[in-house]
Structures are given as structure tokens and as C-alpha cells.
A and B are shown apart, each in its own frame.
Chain A
Amino acid sequence: MSGDSGSTDQHGTPAHSLPPPRPLPGGGATRRHVLIAVVLNKPGVLNRVASLMRARNFNIDSLAVSHTDNEEISRMTITLHGDDVAVEQAAKQLYRLIDVLKVQDATSESTIQQELALVKIRATDSTRAEVLKLVELSRGRVVDLTDGSVIVEVTGTEPEVDAFVALVRTYGIKELVRTGAVVMARGSGSIEEAIKR
């Protein structure tokens, strides 16, 4: 094989000045990000967002969708893990969707983050009192009570919900459902007003 050796002198530049390798976009440390996407409430828009995130190799941790005060506009809260540049790329890719009006990375902003979970916990005669006490201490709310189980509604940040789930796991979790985080920036600014121009 008689290809270029890759040495720099052939480019007319001294070898000792070879700079460090060019950084790869998206190769940095990962952390949890929260993206808020304001989208047109059209059929298939959820599919478009989900399909794009899959195709671009992003793994969504949670996704919460509902319409806003304007029924023609929906709001998605997407949480995902990734390097800052990679998540910025995800946000830009979302912008390419015709039905997406606004995308905001709320990760670094001061926000209110809430998630709701329903937990169906095993509760026999011997453990019920204990479970109910824990629920009370955790500011959960009992929404269904039967012979063998209790359904508890808890609301809080993701770590708070995680903590509650860990706490009651010893009694036996029969079912668990979480909504995924919904997020809103503090203060008077409004992402929805921003898109109305």
C-alpha cells in the first residue's frame, strides 16, 4: 500500500505544530435534560416527535403530552439523557418538524417540575396500618382501599416519587404508573406567548 503516511510535512506545515484532534460533537458528559415542545395539536404529531427521536438515536426517559389552554396547540415535556450538544441537536431536529412551533431546553432554567404516580401497594391486615402511615408521612393520598391492596397517588419531583416508590417497595408493588414530569419555567415569561408573536 502506498497511500499517504498522514504526516503533516506534505501539507507544508511543520509536524511539531500538529494541533489536538478536533472535538466530536455530542461526545461530552451526559446529564438529564428537559425539553419543552409546543406543537400544533394535529393527528400524528406525537408519532412525528417519537419517530424523530428514535431515528436520531435519542432515548426518551419520559414524555408527557396534553393540549394547552388553546385547543389547537399541545405541549410536550420530554425528558432525556444526553450530552448538552447532542440534546441541542435533538431540539434543532425537532424544530425541523413542520408541526413544531417552539422548543425550549428548560434544563438550566429555574423551573417547577412535577410528576404524578399511582402505586398499587400490597396491604394485608398486618401491614395496612404501616403502609397508610408511610403514605401520610410522604404526603401521598389514598385513592382506593381494598382487602389486599391500596392505591396511592403521589405527586412531586421525579426524585421525590422515586423515593416514595423505594420506600413502599418492601411491602410489594402490584402496579405502578407514572405520568412523567411536567415542567414550567418560573416567572412571568411564557413559552406559549412567545410563539404567538
Chain B
Amino acid sequence: MTARTVYADNNATTMVAPEVVEAMEPFFTTLYGNPSSMHLFGGQVKKHVEQAREKVAALLNADSSEIVFTSCGTESDNAAIRGVLAAYPERRHIITSRVEHPAVKNVFQYLGKNGYRVSEISVDRLGRIDLDELQEKLDTDTALVSIMWANNETGVIFPIPQIADMVHRVGAVFHTDAVQAAGKIPIDLQQIPVDLLSLSGHKLHAPKGIGVLYIRKGTHFVPYLIGGHQERGRRAGTENVPSIVGLGVACELAQQYLTEEQTRVRALRDRLEQELTSKAIDATVNGDTENRIPNTTNISFKYIEGESILILLSEAGIAASSGSACTSGSLEPSHVLRAMGIPFTRVHGSVRFSLSRYTTDDDITYIVHHMLAIERRLREISPFGRDEIDAKQARSSH
């Protein structure tokens, strides 16, 4: 039995980079003061927090005064949405997409039940947002539009610059959940007029429990957490200093590895995808392959079910995830794939592999080998598409 682990679920969470762990350590043991304290013991910590803030700002090409540390991506999303709506109480219409992460989707659903008019913008078969529909829905009653930068399940990137312009034309505020985009593609907030942006530490090799909300200067925002004066009054609560320092280092590393992400990681992803779709009995890629973050692929294996695939992958030491109903804890399969109109026959057998800069060439070879064997094994016991198995066999034995 091999003890090999191949981690291909980096859109769920990532390994904390060793450099990050190392940078955090002193803030548990010696530099544990409270940055708000008057004494030097606490006060000296503040400059490390501010340095981290600058590193985060650099990754986004923003000003450090626009960076607010939060506890996670979900908090950033909640704070952004509620904070803006509280500042614009007279506007009662909000817009999002059908494929958001639950941290946005469910907040909108809640607001819809509490007096807001909610519009959800559709996506097409490739997961691309319908800009015409967005244009139709935007009106002067629109307070806020929240649309993700890149989708967590398919990796599809939305045209954020264009969307931001459209939103501003009706005087509304634009928030984007960039949790899956940050560190994987360049983000330049000097160029792209996003008003608020959410980011999560543990998706880019920082620890869990730290997030960022970017609030552009001049954006009206009512704080969500009320208490002390931390984060310039925009988010109360004693700073999570070790994680903030860790996130600073993680952002610095992300910037350094951005090119590698775009070249080596992308090449690994493309090879994985190409080998699986050409060698499998029936496998197809979900999402717009022209416009994706470089680490993600979402592949549907027809006539087999996602949970079975994941358990067998896991037996081989491979970590991935699926849009199947059985893996979600509910009976509903992925809302993202269903919004794209992917047939049920493919949704239930969808698998997402998400790589990172720690993924190796051998890892890909290992995944391909096991995934193909698993597909064959489950197809052998599936009641559907029996003749396709034989046809594939005949083709490959030529």
C-alpha cells in the first residue's frame, strides 16, 4: 500500500507555505502583544501588521489604507454586502449571479426574504455570464451588484472590468468575491474599478481564519462588526496578528509565483485535462476553457457518480472534489453546473481537480493513471452506456 498523497483540491483549501509558518511563529511565542496597547511590548507588533497590510495591497495594486483584515472570505462577503446596503438604505434592488459561492448566494437569498428585490444573472452553457441580462436588470434602484471574479467549481473568469463599468453607470456599488482569483491571475485595482473585493487567506497558502476586505477609498460602508477602533473603525475585534503576518508573506509569495502559476501550473492542468478527456470512455470539460484560472479543471465522467469516484480516488491517496449531490450533504447537485445547463447525466459524475504551485508532473501522471482505472471500474458496474465501454476497448486495441 502506497502512502502517497496527491493533493488536488486547492480550491477547497491549500497547504500553508513553509515560509508563512516560519514568519508566523514569533507572533505566538515572543511578539504576542496586542497592537492596540500603549506599551512598547504591544505597540511594536503594530508595525508588523502594517507591513503585512502593505504586502496584501501590493498583490492587488491597491493602497494599504483600503485593506481591512477579517476572519475569512465569508465574513468579507457578508460585511461587504451588508455594509454597502446599510449605507444606501433607499435603494432596494440587488444583483448577483446564479453561480456564486454560498457566502454570497445565501446572503442574497436571505435579503430577498427580507424586503430586497434580488436579480440573479444567468450563465450560458460554458459558464459565461450574460452581460445583456445584467444590463437589463441594472436600474437606479440597484444598490449593489456582487459577482465573483472566478468561479470556484469551474474556474471560469468573469469580465470584471466590464461589469464594474456597467454597474457604475447606474450609480450602484460593485463587490466581487475574488477568493479563487487572487494569487492565480493578476489583479490590478488601479486599473479595474472594483469598489469592494473579498479575499481568503487559506486559498493562497496562508492559514485558515484570515480574510481581507478591500474597500476602495470613497466607498460608503457601514461596519458590520461593531466594537473597538481596530482597522480604522471598519472592522472591530483584536487583530489576528500571526495570521495577518502569515497572509502578508503568502501574498508576497503569490506575487512571486504568479508567472509560474500562469505557465507551469497551467501546463500541468492542461495535460491532466487533455489526457483524461482523450483516454477516458466518456469525459468532458465543464466551463469556458478559453477563460479560466490556470489551476482548475472540472471534468464530467458520464454514467458514473461523483462520490464513488472520490472514495476510490481517496483510496489511492488522491484528494479532489465533486459537484455530485451525494457529496454535498444535500440531495441537490452543484448549483453551478445546473445553472450552466449541464445535463444530470454529467453533473452527478463531475470531478474538480484544482492544482497549486506544489503540484508536480508526477502527480499528474499518478492522477491520470488512477482516474482512468476508476472510471473503467465504475462503468463496468453501471447499468448505463454498456456498449460505449466495448466501443472504447475496440478503439484503443487498434
Do A and B originate from a single complex? Answer: no
Measured CB to CB, the residues of B under 8 A from A are none
Measured CB to CB, the residues of A under 8 A from B are none
